[in-house]
């Protein structure tokens, strides 16, 4: 099985952080979002598993980072998604549908002798800003053990929020009969959760349907979504099951979701006082209320930190009170009282008492 990961997008909902970094590089609980995803994959798949990343925005940074850190864990391939245009010097793309289609060249035409081989030669697709709480082994087990051509993970959402998602309708056996992107009227509370697994024959058919929509696009066409093409798969007779994630999904696509995801991860990965010396963390006249995550070479002076604060390496925090915050690397914060805030890297901020701050990289206040 090959793994396909589209990470080309600019993360417009996470600006200003994504002016200087890919959205998958937001750091929470000591790691980037993409690290959290790929570490879960490395726990599930063999080291020679083929990982196909579709890159675009900040592509060099992604390629260099992944090559340096994951070459021993995956067989790496990178495909560039070319921007459809630029607005204020920021690229924009044809969307998830085109990104997935670009991986088609890695799926050769060859005869497969059995349904099991058809599944083994298939693909797992993930999104670069969503982390499943369950291990990927839960998803792959359901894929291999079920008599289906593919699975789409889903999660239940409140009825009033369903119109913001792509949703699925299923029969009594959880086989998908209908998929709709952001339905204007309520049809289902099962939202697509962003992990897909398809057999070789199903993924090739999906590529063909995506190409059909891509060939029909004009300058007035909106982004190409996957939902229509997956509906075409269902109409073709492929049996695609909806698999509800038991633990749900951590979505890092918006600032509020970054903070919620950070809270969850810290519940399972908090800093311990005995780690301070090893990590060269200096805490002077301060109170650390866990759960928190503090990276190496950080100084905290006369401050109250936590709960639910992630602090990147090489930070200096003085005379501050911080709660439920994500603070990235190389920052100097003085006289700050804040909660529910996100602060990028290489930031110098002082004398602010305000909640819900959103400060991008290399800012000075």
**Across residues 301-329, what is the average pLDDT?**
96
3-state secondary structure the chain: CEEEEECCCCCHHHCCHHHCCCHHHCEECCEEHHHHHHHHHHCCCCCCCEEEEEEECEHHHHHHHHHHHHCCCCEEEEEECCCCEEECCEEECCCHHHHHHHHHHHCCCCCCCCHHHHHHCCEEEECCCEEECCCHHHHHHHHHHCCCCEEEEEEECCHHHHHHCEEEEECCCCEEEEEEECCCCCCCCEEEEEEEEECHHHHHHHHHHHHHHHHCCCCCCCCCCCHHHHHHHHHCCCCEEEEECCCCEEECCCHHHHHHHHHHHHHHCCCCHHHCCCCCCEEECCEECCCEEECCCCEEECCEECCCEEECCCCEEECCEEEEEEECCCCEEEEEEEEEEEECCCCEEEEEECCCCEECCCCEC
pLDDT for 342: 93
Q: What confidence category does residue 199 fall into, taking pLDDT thresholds of 50, 70 and 90?
A: very high
Indicate if the pLDDT at residue 253 is higher than 90.
Answer: no
Indicate if the pLDDT at residue 14 is higher than 90.
Answer: no
What mean pLDDT value characterizes the chain? 90
Q: What confidence category does residue 128 fall into, taking pLDDT thresholds of 50, 70 and 90?
A: confident
Indicate if the pLDDT at residue 71 is higher than 90.
Answer: yes
* Domain residue spans of the chain: 2-254, 270-359
Superfamily of domain 270-359: Hexapeptide repeat proteins (2.160.10.10)
- Residue among 95, 90, 92, 142 at smallest CA distance from 119: 142
pLDDT for 273: 86
| Fold entry, domain 2-254 | Spore Coat Polysaccharide Biosynthesis Protein SpsA; Chain A (3.90.550)
**Across residues 108-133, what is the average pLDDT?**
87
Residue 86: count of CB within 10 angstroms of its CB:
9
Indicate if the pLDDT at residue 248 is higher than 80.
Answer: no
Looking at per-residue pLDDT, the higher value among 336 and 247 belongs to 336
pLDDT for 254: 81
Q: What confidence category does residue 290 fall into, taking pLDDT thresholds of 50, 70 and 90?
A: very high
- Residue among 7, 31, 44 at smallest CA distance from 139: 44
Strand-pairing partners, residue 77, are 52
**Across residues 47-66, what is the average pLDDT?**
92
Q: Alpha-carbon distance 81 to 99, whole Å?
A: 6
pLDDT for 189: 92
pLDDT for 219: 80
pTM here is 0.89
């Amino acid at each position: 099985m090959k793994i396909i990961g589209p990470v080309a997008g600019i993360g417009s909902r996470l600006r200003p952080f994504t002016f200087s970094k890919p959205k998958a590089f937001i750091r929470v609980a000591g790691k980037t979002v993409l690290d959290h995803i790929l570490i879960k994959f490395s726990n599930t798949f063999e080291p020679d598993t083929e990982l196909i990343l579709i890159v675009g925005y900040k592509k060099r940074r992604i390629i260099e980072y992944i090559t340096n850190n994951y070459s021993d864990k995956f067989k790496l391939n990178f495909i560039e998604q070319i921007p459809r245009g630029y607005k204020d010097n920021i690229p924009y793309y044809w969307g998830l549908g085109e990104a997935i289609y670009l991986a088609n060249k890695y799926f050769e035409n060859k005869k497969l002798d059995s349904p099991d081989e058809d599944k083994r030669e298939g693909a797992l697709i993930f999104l670069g800003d969503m982390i499943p709480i369950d291990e990927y082994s839960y998803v792959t087990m359901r894929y291999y053990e079920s008599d289906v051509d593919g699975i789409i993970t889903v999660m239940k959402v409140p009825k009033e929020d369903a119109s913001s998602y792509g949703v699925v309708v299923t029969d009594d056996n959880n086989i998908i009969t209908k998929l709709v992107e952001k339905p204007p009227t309520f049809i289902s509370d099962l939202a697509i959760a962003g992990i897909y697994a398809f057999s070789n024959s199903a993924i090739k058919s999906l590529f063909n349907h995506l190409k059909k929509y891509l060939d029909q696009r004009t300058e007035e066409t909106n982004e190409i979504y996957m939902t229509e093409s997956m509906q075409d798969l269902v109409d073709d007779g492929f049996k695609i099951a909806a698999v509800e994630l038991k633990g749900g999904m951590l979505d890092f696509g918006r600032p509020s979701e970054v903070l919620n995801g950070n809270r969850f991860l810290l519940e399972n990965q908090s800093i311990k006082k005995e780690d301070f010396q090893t990590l060269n963390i200096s805490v002077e006249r301060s109170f650390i209320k866990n759960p928190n995550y503090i990276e190496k070479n950080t100084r905290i002076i006369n401050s109250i930190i936590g709960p639910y604060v992630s602090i990147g390496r090489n930070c200096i925090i003085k005379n501050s009170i911080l709660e439920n915050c994500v603070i990235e690397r190389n920052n100097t914060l003085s006289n700050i009282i804040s909660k529910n805030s996100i602060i990028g890297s290489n930031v110098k901020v002082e004398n602010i008492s305000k909640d819900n701050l959103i400060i991008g990289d290399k800012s000075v206040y």
